[in-house]
Structure 1
Amino acid sequence: MAVAVIMEFNGATLEQYDQVIVKMGLTKEGPAPAGALSHWVAATDNGILVTDLWKSRELYDAFARDQIGPFSQEAGIPEPPKITYHDAHNYFTQGPET
């Protein structure tokens, strides 16, 4: 089942987020990592908010363990995110371009 993952990184900046994305080898509007369905990020009063949709929690957890955690530390993000999970009842995709 698809899972929505909400990550609240208190004290983080969008500049640090951009460093993490580069370390992951990802690009803005580029293809998502295997298992990821959607992703967006925004600045908040306290840091940054990242919202993802993954094919499964197991795929997200492996990605977080192998990439998000280590690269966030390397970028100087001060603490691990507060994470909230929600089972996705439904989601939409752009579908094939016509």
Structure 2
Amino acid sequence: MATAVETTFHGVTLEAYNDLLRRLDFRPEGASEPGCLFHYAVPTEDGFRGVDVWESADAFERFVRERLAPVLEDVGIAPPEVTVSPVHNYLIAPSERWADPSD
């Protein structure tokens, strides 16, 4: 079941977020982690929040365990506040297969 995940990092700058992306080999507007359907980040008053939809809670937990937690520990960032919720529905951008054939 698809799972929504909000990670709130208090006291962590957007520059540190960008560094995390680089360390995880992600690029802005690039591909995400396998199992992550989409991700975005927004600034907050005291840090930033990442919002994701994952294919499953297991996929998110595997990413944290195998990839994110070691990088956070390496750079000295405390684990984020995490909220996990089951997803009732999500929508995605249309693909080529949905394009109007009369165009």
- Match of 2:66, SS state, is helix
Match of 2:79 in 1: 80
Match of 2:45 in 1: 45
- If you compute each CA radius of gyration, which structure gives the higher value, 1 or 2? 2
What's the RMSD between the two structures over aligned residues? 1.2
8 Å contact 1:6–1:83 — kept in the other structure?
yes
Query: Matched residues in 2 for 1:12 and 1:96: separation?
Result: 35
Residue 3 of structure 2 aligns with an amino acid whose one-letter code is V
Please state how far the C-alpha of 1:46 moved relative to its aligned partner. Answer: 1.6
Which aligned segments of 4 or more residues in structure 1 are displaced greater than 4 angstroms?
Answer: none
Please state how far the C-alpha of 1:75 moved relative to its aligned partner. Answer: 3.0
Identity %: 33
| Aligned counterparts, 1:59-70, within 5 A | 59-70=59-70
Please state how far the C-alpha of 1:68 moved relative to its aligned partner. Answer: 1.4
Consecutive unaligned residues in structure 1, runs of 5 or more = none
Give CA deviations for 1:24-49 in whole Å, capped at 9, x if unaligned. Answer: 11111111110000101011112110
8 Å contact 1:35–1:56 — kept in the other structure?
yes
8 Å contact 1:37–1:55 — kept in the other structure?
yes
The size of the alignment, in residue pairs, is 97
| Aligned counterparts, 1:3-82, within 5 A | 3-77=3-77, 79-82=78-81
With CA pairs under 8 Å and 6+ residues apart, which has the higher RCO, 1 or 2?
Answer: 1
8 Å contact 1:8–1:81 — kept in the other structure?
yes
Residue 72 of structure 1 aligns with an amino acid whose one-letter code is L
TM-score normalised according to structure 1 size: 0.91
Consecutive unaligned residues in structure 2, runs of 5 or more = none
Query: Matched residues in 1 for 2:83 and 2:60: separation?
Result: 12
